[in-house]
């Protein structure tokens, strides 16, 4: 199944496309959420229809960890009983590794993400450690169980293990406890991690011999830049997903081609009304004309435009000989306020990576302002 379609080394997966909100263009990769897109028979049927319409070359099933995260945040009662049906409502949640594996089989997925209990966004290091240990109690056995179920029931489906850790030391602790299970790659949520930390985690994964990485929940320019750089040097495949293309459209935001900055069409003076976009969706329309459309039509056009913009940057970066110099040239005309910061971070990441060699794994200290991380590269 995973080998039925040859895919790019770097690929953007379309997430959040349920309820007939697909972009009106070819979708190369699609992310399906067990906890959202497959929580009822009606939604399963709609998801099948969506896949049939999109005809993606690659389908990944996300486990539903985000629904667990929301349930915990809202104080919703939860259980993780494989004998009970998959249930995701405003009053109760039940999900287990078995549910994830069964849904992946049901829609003929190419890959799936193991069930995980996400860590919360916390700044205090002591509270972070408590949170990590609390969630480790779930994440280790779930990773092991998902790997065992995959091996028995669908060995052809690629398995990604989510990393729920604040630090590299915690990541190592998690890895030591799951070492020996059969899996294909790691999935890294970037909610709690700045740009350089994402690169550090990916470097660590590389030293562990992992060949595939999925970055969960971000399609920002810095994320795509890191993914492009790492995919060309350390991994067979780097994928990432995001719902930003759809959410931005929903709120009347036009994602700028090239640098992925945002133009809020509901804010007069925040965009050039005479700028024309000639993409497949906008077809030469000016931003002023787009702003004057009724909300439903504007949202429809922006959904496809925003998706195409992210996909085009992904393909451009993925096919280029990508490095900091290339990125600097790419952003030369950009008006983003954070260009210098992005380039500075990428320069540091490139320096870190230049010291990394698969045959020369050693320990060094990397200073990030006042913080110090002990990494192995």
Could you tell me if 217 and 259 lie in one domain?
A: no
Could you tell me if 206 and 300 lie in one domain?
A: no
Stretch 124-140: mean pLDDT, rounded? 97
Instruction: Answer yes or no: is 181 within a domain.
Output: yes
7 band by pLDDT with thresholds 50, 70 and 90: low
pLDDT reading at 257 higher than 90: yes
Could you tell me if 123 and 169 lie in one domain?
A: yes
Could you tell me if 86 and 207 lie in one domain?
A: yes
- Diameter of the chain by CA atoms? 59
State how far the alpha carbon of 197 is from the alpha carbons of 168, 184, 251, 366, in Å: 9, 22, 30, 11
**Domain termination site, one of 215, 242, 269:** 242
Within 13 Å, how many C-alpha atoms sit on residue 338's CB side? Answer: 11
Angle (nearest 5°) at CA 100 between 157 and 174: 85
The model's pLDDT over 163-179, given as tens digits with 9 standing for 90+, comes to 999 999 999 999 999 99
Could you tell me if 44 and 189 lie in one domain?
A: yes
Query: Chain centroid to CA 328: how far?
Result: 24
Stretch 147-160: mean pLDDT, rounded? 97
What percent of the chain shows pLDDT beyond 70? 92
- Counting the structural domains of the chain, the total is 2
Could you tell me if 212 and 165 lie in one domain?
A: yes
The model's pLDDT over 65-93, given as tens digits with 9 standing for 90+, comes to 999 999 999 999 999 999 999 999 999 99
Structure tokens given for 150 = 């995959």
Instruction: Answer yes or no: is 297 within a domain.
Output: yes
CATH number at residue 39: 3.20.20.105
Q: Is 286 exposed, middle or buried (0-12, 13-18, 19+ CB in 10 A)?
A: middle
Which residue from 195, 225, 190, 198 is spatially nearest to 334, judged by alpha carbons? 225
18 band by pLDDT with thresholds 50, 70 and 90: confident
Instruction: Answer yes or no: is 5 within a domain.
Output: no
pLDDT reading at 363 higher than 80: no
User: Coil, helix or strand for 113?
Assistant: strand
Could you tell me if 177 and 109 lie in one domain?
A: yes
Residue 153 CA to residue 16 CA, distance in Å, equals 27
Instruction: Answer yes or no: is 360 within a domain.
Output: no
**pLDDT score for 19:** 67
**pLDDT score for 259:** 96
Alpha-carbon Rg for the chain, nearest whole angstrom, is 21
Could you tell me if 260 and 228 lie in one domain?
A: no
Instruction: Answer yes or no: is 366 within a domain.
Output: no
Which pTM value belongs to this model?
Answer: 0.90
Structure tokens given for 350 = 């490139």
Could you tell me if 294 and 209 lie in one domain?
A: no
Structural domain containing residue 170: 10-242
């Amino acid at each position: 199944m995973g080998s039925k379609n040859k895919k790019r080394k770097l690929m953007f997966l379309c997430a959040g496309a349920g309820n007939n909100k697909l972009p009106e263009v070819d979708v190369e990769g699609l992310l399906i959420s067990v906890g959202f897109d497959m929580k009822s028979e009606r939604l399963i049927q709609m998801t099948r229809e969506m896949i049939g319409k999109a005809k993606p070359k690659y389908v990944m099933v996300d486990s539903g960890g985000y629904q667990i995260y929301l349930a915990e945040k809202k104080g919703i009662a939860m259980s993780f009983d494989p004998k009970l049906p998959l249930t995701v409502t405003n009053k109760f949640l039940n999900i287990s590794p078995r549910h994830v594996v069964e849904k992946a089989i049901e829609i003929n997925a190419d890959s799936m993400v193991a069930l995980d209990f996400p860590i919360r966004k916390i700044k205090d290091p002591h509270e972070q450690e408590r949170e990590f240990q609390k969630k480790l109690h779930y994440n280790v056995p779930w990773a092991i169980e998902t790997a065992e179920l995959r091996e028995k029931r669908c060995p052809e489906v690629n398995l990604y293990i989510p990393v729920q850790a604040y630090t590299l030391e915690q990541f190592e602790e998690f890895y030591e406890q799951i070492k020996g299970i059969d899996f294909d790659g790691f999935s890294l949520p970037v909610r709690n991690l700045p740009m350089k930390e994402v690169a550090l985690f990916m470097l660590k994964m590389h030293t562990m011999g992992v060949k595939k990485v999925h970055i969960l929940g971000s399609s920002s320019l810095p994320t795509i830049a890191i993914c492009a750089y790492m995919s060309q040097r350390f991994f067979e495949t780097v994928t990432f997903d995001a719902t930003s293309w759809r959410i931005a459209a929903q709120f009347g935001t036009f994602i700028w081609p090239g640098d992925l900055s945002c133009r809020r069409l509901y804010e007069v003076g925040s965009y050039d009304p005479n700028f024309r976009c000639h993409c497949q969706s906008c077809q030469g329309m000016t931003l002023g004309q787009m702003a004057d459309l009724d909300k439903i039509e504007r949202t429809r056009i922006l959904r496809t435009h925003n998706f195409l913009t992210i996909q085009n940057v992904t393909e451009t970066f993925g096919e280029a000989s990508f490095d900091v110099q290339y990125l600097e040239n790419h952003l030369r005309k950009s008006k983003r306020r954070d260009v210098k910061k992005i380039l500075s971070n990428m320069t540091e990441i490139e320096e870190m990576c230049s010291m990394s060699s698969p045959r020369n794994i050693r320990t060094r200290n990397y200073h990030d302002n006042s913080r110090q991380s002990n990494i192995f590269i």
